[in-house]
Chain A
């Protein structure tokens, strides 16, 4: 292993030396950080929030770091080479920002034990491969309470990218929040099997509205649901970024992801030499999950309830996944008096009672 690494570094040192002489001179002091994104750079959504994470590193650490971003690496065959190139070129901290990048990261990380690897949405941990993830469901629970107050029809709509636990769990929490207001509320579910398919997403949102849903939650990489709700004169809840610009009247709030602390924290620890492989899962309390400003249409008394709920979740007094909870087949999945443990939340593959639809 040692031998092979040396050979690899020789090859890439020649490569790096040939084209980046001025940078290499300073490279000894500067921490080189790499970030690999599966999707192209964008103005909103998942990638944008991760780009903001990189910006936060630059702002906090300035010329102590040097950052390389590689976008649009959606094929695992290519990702493996990109990760290897980054590691070979002296990047000591490398972020992978998509679940689909897991396989190649797990392959490459053991070959570069000196490099700190951080996988967002990852599940598998290695000695030098850490993961971080946000408790989207905390924010969605609050948004659900808002939706519960604002719906007139008692019907909500949910458009999800993929039926993976990271999306299904928050979807459930959205309805659970709404049902604290009115236990008869239901939520119809559609999965696009794509993060980015505006045409299909718009059709899905319109179909949900046609069925009577008057608050639509979109967990994709677009602002389509918020926009469709604006056009139809109903409400929507955004995800990842504040999507107010897509629907100034329709967006009740948005569950905004702020990865700054994850990015800056990891970089600082690598600089300090204190980085270890962790599995971090942060939410409202840590500020990784935040809520965009509430819609002006939400009445004052409801706002107060929402603010109180936020504080309750932060303090742990309110547990969104507190029993009793049934799935939409009628099975009890969380017994009364119990709280679903974290690992189970991260592996949710059932839809809660009142969710109309199937996984897949």
Chain B
């Protein structure tokens, strides 16, 4: 009596909605079991991981500090993902955006005042787009695989950053440590409230989500991308441009990642150092898929993934659980998400039944 995998004839909306929720619940259950086997009280540790960090206003704002770059990048990436354009190099585009923003912040003539931040923003946006644009050009012109190109460009961006902070951009007053000088005050985003670190990037993230919603569910351009992603031959049949989809998908993702780099440099970082991101560009890919490429889902996914970071720190602080627990939770979540995804579209039956 063998087991067989069959496609489900119908995939209900309820199932689509329940799948990520089930994945989160299973992650909690297995995570709790993991804590228990490590000798901790599973409920207390789960509480410390997932609830504790967000019980206060400060905790909530810190969650936003972590979630905002994830959300901005994931929203941008989801545009390309809908068209089967696989930009997995957002980390590099973020790095280039951060470099461009810092370059403007450090070297623009003084006295720009209110103009400096917009200039840094613009520079970061263009740098992110340009970095992704390389992959778009190569794919549209030569059919190069954008997965490989964007990924390899990430390493190049990382090395460029490394060279800059150790060489020409190293802070002359920084005792030779590989970091730049701090951004000037005019190039630093003030927190929305002096008690917290959260900046205007939150409003920008909401704006991006709103635009994404408009793009996805109302715009004809978004529809064309979706057709190109779901059925390339149908897109060709009605004359939707494939090159247009490649350029749009990559440039939008690159722009979003670049801007996220700006918000890091002008916000919590305040300078460039050899490492500027805990892998936001890669985690954002998970966020995009946890959120099913939908703005509301990306909002929730971004908050949840941010919580795994903050919660990981929290259990380290309060229980001494190693920091790598964050990665374990992210891995568990991804695993269960793929599994529940699978079971919404397929089912396992006994053959001969």
Contact = CB atoms under 8 A, between A and B. Distances in A.
Chain A directly contacts chain B within the complex, with at least one CB pair under 8 Å: yes
Interface of A: 4, 7-8, 10-12, 14-16, 18-20, 34, 40-41, 68-78, 80-82, 84-86, 88-89, 99-100, 103, 123, 162-166, 168, 193, 347, 349, 359-360
B47 A18 contact: yes
Interface in B207-250: none
Contact of B278 (A78, A82, A85, A349): A78
Contact of A103 (B55, B170, B176, B270): B270
A168 B317 CA distance: 34
Nearest to A14: B55
Contacts of A10: 56
Contacts of A162: 176-178
B316 A18 contact: no
From B45, B58, B59, B62, residue with most partner A Cβ within 10 Å: B58
B292 interface: no
Interface string B270-298: 11011111100000000000000000000
A159 to B, nearest CB: 16
Interface stretch (B129-137, B254-262, B318-326): B318-326
Output the residue of B45, B275, B276, B317 with the most chain A CB within 10 A. Answer: B317
Contact of B323 (A70, A76, A89): A70
A85 B175 contact: no
B197 A359 contact: no
A4 B51 CA distance: 22
Nearest to B277: A75
24 contacts: A4-B194, A7-B57, A7-B195, A8-B58, A15-B52, A15-B59, A15-B314, A19-B52, A40-B323, A72-B323, A74-B275, A75-B276, A76-B270, A77-B269, A78-B313, A80-B268, A82-B313, A103-B182, A103-B270, A103-B271, A164-B175, A164-B176, A168-B176, A360-B170
Contacts of B271: 103
Interface of A is mostly: helix
Contacts of A20: 318
Q: Chain B, interface size: which category?
A: 35 or more
B88 interface: no
A7 B57 CA distance: 8
Give 8 closest A-B pairs by Cβ, nearest first: A11-B56, A77-B268, A4-B195, A19-B48, A72-B323, A15-B52, A163-B176, A164-B176
Nearest to A12: B56
Given A71-B322, A165-B175, A360-B170, A81 B56 contact: no
Nearest to B326: A72
B55 A360 contact: no
Interface of B: 44-45, 47-48, 51-53, 55-59, 62, 65, 162, 166-167, 170, 175-179, 182, 194-195, 197, 264, 268-271, 273-278, 309-310, 313-314, 316-318, 320, 322-324
A19 B318 contact: yes
B314 A85 contact: yes
B175 A347 contact: yes
Contact of B62 (A16, A72, A75, A81): A81
A11 B57 contact: yes
Given A162-B177, A163-B176, A16 B316 contact: no
A71 B316 CA distance: 8
A237 to B, nearest CB: 22
A168 B177 CA distance: 12
Contacts of A86: 317
Nearest to B324: A72
A26 B145 CA distance: 60
A194 to B, nearest CB: 9
A214 to B, nearest CB: 28
Contacts of A164: 175-177
A218 to B, nearest CB: 18
